[in-house]
Chain A
Amino acid sequence: MSIRRLTGILGLLALLACLSLATVAAQEPIVIKFWSHDYPPREAIDRDIIARFEQDNPNIKVEYTIGPGDDFQYVPQLLTALAAGEGPDLFNVLTFLVPDLIPDGAVVPVDAEAAGYASQEEIINSYLPGVLETMIGVDGQLYALPTELGNYALFVNTALFREAGLDPEKDIPTTWEDLMALAPKLTKRDASGNIVQRAFDFSYPIPDEILGGGIAFQGMAHQLGGEYFNEERTEGRINTDAWVKTYTFVRDYAKEFGGMALTPSSIGFYEGNVAMLLSGPWYLPQLVEANNPELAKDVITAPFPRWKEGLVNDGGSALYAYGLHVNSQSSPEVQEAAWKLAGALTSEPERYFSEALLLQPKLSLTENEELMQGSFAAMFIRDMANSPSLPSLKNFGELPGIMNRALERILLEDMDVQESLNIANDELTALLAKE
């Protein structure tokens, strides 16, 4: 065989190999790595939507991973993975991370067309006014699609009310002052003076407490005109009268009727020894029905209490939101596919609402009167009006730490409320300076 012929055959073989590789590459599915936090009722719906999405898009495969435990564990793992270049393509996370994510270019703006909309404006207009504000960057672009907008309301164990001779319909407190006045009637102590049943308790920074106290405290302070910082975001405002009154109330209640030394109220409630607590709608399936299904039939909810004296803003607890973000390190094809999946995951808000008690705050859902009427979660939505959002700050973990230490100084070291909040305010101002 001549050299020329051999070269020709080899060249032909190389060409065939390239063509077949290109064909294989074209058929290679796009893989989306998708992470979300742990909430089993939502996960079941997610998986169902993903299965249908994969059927409709045979060239896209989704690897769905549920992050470990609570946000305290999930968020560090997510950030570490993003930093190492091993992060998911699409992830669901609390939106107060946004100030850390957007300026550093970790996430990309929403691809409206891929998500099934004509423009970002159309997306914004399809949601409740203002709820996407925390997901918009300084460049005016939308960076996330919300999977959950949440707030806290009062959960009431009606059996304990009746046992104390109270009418659960009429005697549920609507104000903080009423709540304090009602406490002696629902509090039980043993012979040694230990509290064995609590009327109500806040969430404190203690082990096993899964509810965030800050969501309630911010709402209480906001009702009195309080805010975390000034408009310019240069100085803290957590040592004002509104915050002092809020923390004084919490201290006075904890000293007399509850406190950090007791079982977390999120556990005590489903154990049947706490008559009232503040939580989100997810608390019913996630904790009450999962741990004490018998109790669930005795549970009703009521709006977040207001202040009788000094009410400035008639709003509920602080609002928190989770949103779907897309990793900037993913390839453009994967980013597009990820936004397409995000669009699918936010296209059935009615189902998330009725089956998982999660509010994807779309107008199509909130204007659905048939679904809203008689819904357990509808009251939570009504209570969102005039409520503040959790603040978004860089170095997301520092603010809860500042607020927790302020409360602990007051409750554990008997420090004067004003003095403790002055310290916290200095810490917050220093944190704002980092921005």
Chain B
Amino acid sequence: MTMQLRRRWSRWWDTFNIYHKHSLWGLAFVLPGVLFFIIFAYYPVLRAAQLSLTDYNLLSPPRYIGLGNYQFIFQEGSRFYKALVNTFEFVGGYAIPMWILALALALIFTQDFRGRGVYRTLYFVPIVLSETVISIVWRLIYHPQGIMNAAVAPLTGGVKIPWLTDSNIAPIALIIVAIWRVFGYYMIIFITGLQNIPGEYYDAAKVDGANRWQVFRFVTMPLLRPTTVFVVVITLLNGFQSFVYQFLITRGGPNDATTTLGYLIYEEAFPNLNMGRAAAISMVLFAMLIVLTFIQLYLLRQRYDT
């Protein structure tokens, strides 16, 4: 019986050529990873898409309502629009200054000077701390009697800035926290990218008489492009999904000024028990992130084409 089975298997296996055999082995090896993604990534996305078409409050079974949730979030005056604008403002306000700061520091820290390692470490430290801890600490820093107001007191004449309770200032306060936490991390990534640029290119540029700006513009930037694309895409994805600071520092306030899409999803889902509506907003955010990912692929393809 066993021999028969073995012979059958052998005959079946011999029907494949070497290329197909390799492919089958490859498939076998990636199968656990694929299964993991199907169960923990794709299934939740599909389930969220399904939930977005229902009225569901966690306690009773979901009730199908078609596109009702999408109609609600896209109706005139909906909080979704404010959250969308806030999200774009947060991403713009956090990502662009962070890129510039991280790159500028990376350029400085690739120069040779004493204490370089110490400074690099100091700038990197915040990324080691959890966002929760950072949020609690910054809430104290932004307290009306906190050190932030003490620090700016000479500039404001002692007038206390309501960092977290003014709808114009609170979004900026969160952007400062977000930048402070990650710029050291991206600085290290830029440093790695800069160190991978062969020194011969700089030597050649010098021989050609290029000034510092020209070296940066025509040598550094093009060769740093893969790193830049990575940093840009990752920071944008993280920015669009931002939730922790909005939840722990401002709870989306004041007056929804820091309610981003990530926070609105939470608020609709848990205090408000509108799971379907939360799922609908998640799907819109998902679509936005898909577009971002396509842009990333397009930029990367351009890089390899050239």
A-side residues, CB < 8 A to B, are 72, 75-76, 79-80, 82-83, 100-101, 103-106, 190-194, 204-208, 259-263, 394-398, 400-401, 404-405, 408-409, 412-413
Contacts and interface: CB of A to CB of B under 8 A. Distances in A.
A398 B57 CA distance: 13
B166 interface: yes
Chain B CB count within 10 A is highest, among A82, A191, A207, for A207
A207 B251 contact: yes
Interface string B47-61: 000000000011110
Nearest to B140: A208
A100 B59 contact: yes
Contacts of A208: 139
Given A206-B254, A207-B249, A397-B272, A194 B159 contact: yes
B165 A206 contact: yes
A184 to B, nearest CB: 21
A64 to B, nearest CB: 24
Interface of B: 57-60, 139, 143-145, 157-160, 162, 164-167, 249-251, 253-256, 267, 270-274
Given A106-B59, A263-B144, A100 B273 contact: yes
A104 B60 contact: yes
Contacts of B57: 100, 104, 394-395
Contacts of A193: 159
A396 B158 contact: no
A143 to B, nearest CB: 14
B165 A261 contact: yes
20 contacts: A76-B270, A80-B270, A83-B58, A83-B59, A100-B59, A103-B60, A104-B57, A192-B157, A192-B158, A193-B159, A205-B253, A207-B139, A207-B251, A207-B253, A259-B165, A395-B273, A397-B271, A400-B271, A401-B271, A409-B255
B160 to A, nearest CB: 5
Given A397-B272, A413-B255, 16 more contacts: A75-B270, A80-B58, A82-B58, A101-B59, A104-B60, A105-B59, A192-B158, A194-B160, A204-B165, A206-B253, A207-B164, A394-B273, A395-B273, A395-B274, A397-B267, A398-B272
A106 B61 CA distance: 11
A204 B255 CA distance: 11
Contacts of B249: 207
Contacts, number: 97
Contacts of A260: 162, 165, 254
The secondary structure that dominates the A interface is: loop
Contact of A262 (B144, B250, B251, B271): B144
A103 to B, nearest CB: 7
Nearest to B75: A430
Nearest to B162: A261
Contacts of A104: 57, 59-60
B71 to A, nearest CB: 13
Contacts of A106: 59
Contacts of A205: 251, 253-254
A405 B78 CA distance: 13
A6 B166 CA distance: 85
Nearest to A273: B145
Contacts of A405: 255-256
Nearest to A426: B77
Contacts of B165: 204, 206, 259-261
Contacts of B164: 206-207
A424 to B, nearest CB: 12
Contacts of B256: 405, 408
